[in-house]
Amino acid sequence: MMIPTLHADFDLQRYHTLACPSVAEYAVTVTERSHLSTALAWAKQRALPVQVIGEGSNLVPRDVVPGLTVINRLSGVRVLKQTADQVELRVAGGVSWHWLVLFCSAQHWYGLENLALIPGTVGAAPVQNIGAYGVELCDVFVSLDAVNIRSGEQHSFSAEDCQFGYRQSVFKGVEEGAWIITAVTLRLSRRFAPNLTYGPLADLNPASSAELIEHVIAVRQSKLPDPALIPNAGSFFTNPIIPIAQARSLQQTYAAMPVYPTADGEFAKVAAGWLIEQAGLRGDYAADTGIGPYEKQALVLVNPQRVASSKVMARAQEIAQIVEDKFGISIVPEPRLFP
């Protein structure tokens, strides 16, 4: 059985944005659906575990990644349906998310503008239901196709099957590690109706999707470090959701604390970046490893010296403990340990 791009002892350090040293026992770059079936069969014969990586922008890879790592580079965009108001697209899992945002804007297909410049692939987007500036993937999501890692069978997941939540889906829950997402179907609008609900976008009156995208890019670039220059995995913690009473009580002491009540009014999301900053940790880079909350956005942990994931996780734990001691709120990592 031939797999053209199978490598042993494959260096993953440049295949993820946090740049931790990491070696995959085996790796294969998949550009065609048939390669994927072949690769899965190959691993099954050898009883090897299999995991998938897109652009690696939300991962903390261990030093050694056993078994076969599939690098998803499936490509292509296909229009499934089009009406006067909407278009439905099937996009292959290996397509770069930001490229898709720009492509759709150029085609006058709207709805992805606020999600510009999010690193990663289309196939990774549903796993954590990517979101920014008031828009989440689930707002435009129709369905996805995935291949079961164990059986090799293909299955389609509806939005309901995916159980999307804030930075959450079934692929981070009970189905974690079980599927490779090969394609995602999105429904976009053919009329430009910008979502400007998020504070920093509220004063805009964009004439075009390109203008909105440009603004979102500028906002992101002003706060978020470019992983090509300073290794990072985006927000390192999710914003914790706590009982509303606890949030209100903290606000008595910390009047400026950002609090976003949930729809049912029982809970509130609080800004982990704010908590980390108030704990005095923004720009506090550890003397030995350089790891710390980025000086312009404390929710992002940077790894400038490209040190091992164990050190990144230890520093994250230290930060979480300091926040917990100060506010009684536990914050949990957002990127996934790989595998």
Q: Which residues bind ligand EPU (CB under 6 A)?
A: 132-133, 167, 198, 234-235, 238-239, 258, 271, 273-274, 277, 282, 297-299, 334
In the complex with ligand EPU, the residue whose CB is nearer, 299 or 312, is 299
Given a contact cutoff of 8 angstroms between Cβ atoms, the answer to whether 225 and 302 are in contact is yes
Q: Long-range CB contacts (< 8 A, 24+ apart) of 171-176?
A: 171/126, 171/127, 172/127, 172/128, 172/336
Q: CB of 106: closest distance to ligand EPU in angstroms?
A: 23
Catalytic residues: 167, 235, 334
Q: CB of 272: closest distance to ligand EPU in angstroms?
A: 7
Q: In whole angstroms, what is the distance from residue 261 CA to residue 317 CA?
A: 27
In the complex with ligand EPU, the residue whose CB is nearer, 136 or 145, is 136
Q: CB of 258: closest distance to ligand EPU in angstroms?
A: 4
In the complex with ligand EPU, the residue whose CB is nearer, 93 or 333, is 333
Given a contact cutoff of 8 angstroms between Cβ atoms, the answer to whether 127 and 171 are in contact is yes
**Amino acid at site 40:** L
In the complex with ligand EPU, the residue whose CB is nearer, 145 or 334, is 334
E strands, the chain, in order: 6-11, 23-30, 50-53, 59-61, 64-72, 77-82, 86-92, 131-132, 135-136, 141-148, 154-158, 179-189, 232-235, 241-243, 259-261, 267-270, 292-294, 297-302, 336-338
In the complex with ligand EPU, the residue whose CB is nearer, 90 or 240, is 240
Q: In whole angstroms, what is the distance from residue 258 CA to residue 233 CA?
A: 23
Helix (H, G, I), strand (E, B) or coil at 116: coil
